[in-house]
A and B are shown apart, each in its own frame.
Chain A
Amino acid sequence: MSDITKQSLTELVENIKNKKLSSTDVTKAFIDRSEKSGELNAYITNDFTSALDKAKKFDQKPNLDLKLPGIPMAVKDLFCTKNIKTTAGSKILNNFVPTYESTVTENIWNEGAILLGKLNCDEFAMGSSNETSFFGNVQSPIDKNLVPGGSSGGSASAVAGQLTPVTIGTDTGGSIRQPASFTGIVGLKPTYGSCSRYGIVAFASSLDQAGPMAQNVKDCALLHEVISSYDPKDSTSIDFKRNHYSKELTNNIKGKKIGIPKEYRVDGMPKEIEALWQKGIQYIKDCGAETIDISLPNTSYALPTYYIVAPAEASSNLARYDGVKYGYRAKGENLIDMYEKTRSEGFGTEVQRRIMIGTYVLSSGYYDAYYLKAQKVRKLIKNDFDEAYKKVDAILTPSTPSSAFKIGEKTNDPVSMYLNDIFTVPVNLAGLPGISIPAGHDSKGYPLGLQIIGKAFDEQNILNIAYAMEEKINFKNKITDWWIK
């Protein structure tokens, strides 16, 4: 029984279906390990008691036709969960209990999964290290005082540390793929419009996408199959034919053409990253696919474009947190004073910084120079990909320009923190799917990831490529359980 938490989602589903394990066995095991893992600070809110009740109930009348029968799962605290506090990692929502469920989590529970609790994240998903959370930073299972990445840092830590079999995160500029890369797991950012945004606390509406995080590609495919759905409640949700991603998963990628964009070879990129990328190219070839050098000429504009578009939308999306209707309210002399105090006390520094950037770039007199121009560049970046996809089926890049860094190392240097997202933001700007898979270790033994970027709605293809490469790479995450006494 002690090895339950080491099992993949696919194995757990199989064992429950074969009645080798009960939902109660599995749920108990993950609760036990979660309870011993307080030092990771991966959870903001746990729902263990109720989870165990639900598991017992499931076992009394198990529906084994479901895709996630009795599987316990913790989720990022950006997803609204009915009657369970949902904070978005912020003080301003510290007392907020939704009366409704996000579509993505609803899809998960409908397939038989059971909520374990809500996972830590950067405040309103703004951050790359999980250090902006009002609920404290998250420790990486990889090493003490190492960041798990962000903003889905609690999610990455919980999957890598085996506190949950799989999880979901959200990715606005790399918030699934970067922490996945830092913690040696798989993370998929789906095509914009694939997963409903209904009930997800919004950061930047035109970029936000929910996606699965898992120990391996197959688990990732299965969870994606569950969460991706057309939702009329989200006007940007797209009604396209979705695959049975896990069933259709294949490692046969013979003849596929994979693009290698030269612009991703950025100045000052560590040699280890370059070496990893070369190794990736070799794996692609070993799988019988072909690599082609391509150019995505506007890549260098992606990061500045992202840091105009995302804060602009965020400044408006976060206006609703004003102390009037729900959430934190400070006492004020009058309405304006109440607003100022509520928002100054309720939001952390990084969130305030982005609200100010966003307000600035949308201001009259600056709109054309910043926001409008950024939208035009965004189109150019998308055009780059469209052009490339005339020649290739997918694109291979490193996931991040470095491995994980130490807690506190970059907190006073926002720009260096933003640089973490340099390989992931172009994918969000273009609305494309991207997956990060663990592909090796750096000299310190920290995981490094490779990113496969696909055509819009072509998740099956990048999952297949990731699946084929995963087999060749044969990555083993080095989890020492350092935090368990």
Chain B
Amino acid sequence: MLNFPIYLDHNATTPCDPRVVEAMLPYFTNTYGNAASRNHPFGWQAEGAVDDAREQVAKLVGASAKEIIFTSGATEADNLALKGVFEMYASKGNHIITCNIEHKAVLDTCKHIEKEGGEVTYLKVKNNGLIDLQELEAAIKPTTILIAIMYANNEIGTIMPMKEISAIAKKHGILVFSDATQAIGKIPVDVNKDGIDLMAFTAHKMYGPKGVGALYVRRKNPRVKVTAQIDGGGHERGMRSGTLNVPGIVGFGKACELCMNEMEADAERISKLRDKLQNALLQIEESYLNGDKEHKLPHVTNISFKHVEGEGLLMGFNKEIALSSGSACTSASLEPSYVLKALGLGDDLAHSSLRFGLGRFTTEEQIDYTIEQVTNTVNKLREMSPLWEMYKEGIDLNTIEWAHH
């Protein structure tokens, strides 16, 4: 039996695993102490729970517990890493290298840093969504202090070559920061094997609660420091003040433990379903896969259906299937996804894309239903599309003079 709506937007957020919720509950009502209260059992218990969670989180990414700074989420961790390094290493230089398909939490923070006197290079990605390593190395200057490249992209799921990126950085004595929000809990990530010095991630993308995330900050080879962006009490080794979100952190820890144990089996099962979906949808005439086919997260696919508009397409089934479009027609700007445009997609294809994000609880029945609904809606809308009619008549759409608004 299918229950509606079907959730296929796991890159936006994931449901809390019931085992995570169960682990969190006592910390709301019984063990509600402040982890910074040193003088009584309530505080000690809370501190103990946070310590355990810190171990669980660290273990998943191959770090040591002392290297984990808890934050309110990945956006805060991105801000802390970028602004914190920019301020801490100001005497060494002011140049940061990033790329043009980073999440807005990184791009907007870089824009802020530029206003503060920083210099930022935004590498252009190739058509497959990966950066060119030669371009990366060529962009390095004597003033470069940080290379900030995402582990995996949130819209197309492509996985960046982190090992190669960090090897280049190491050669030049530059720190590496990675926003790994989409990758952690989905694929193995190891800060030592991958050579990452700072890394942002969040619980709610890996079946944990919203409102809690972490910044990994390397403690040796090299010892990395960041300037705190939130002051007031010196929590988290002085890098992030504020009373710890104990239930959230406990849930984050549990979510990491579950991913540690189940990630491999989950990825195998989910990638089979993803491949089934992807293959079936690519059977549709004039449909195109966005992003690299191989270097890609196991649970994501992003496909453009030419001559139909993404938002109109979603409307065909969005009461039954929750997923996301690369077209932002609801915003006043009418701009399609900057990530898809960065891959070199024309505006027409960028407006015609859907992102499918599968998850731990996605079933084959749900995927079969999705294939049927998407295929039917694409066909129905093409019957209604003047562009499809012209395409079928052999008219080159590029030769038409469109009335631009």
Pair from one complex: no
Partner-B contacts on A (CB < 8 A): none
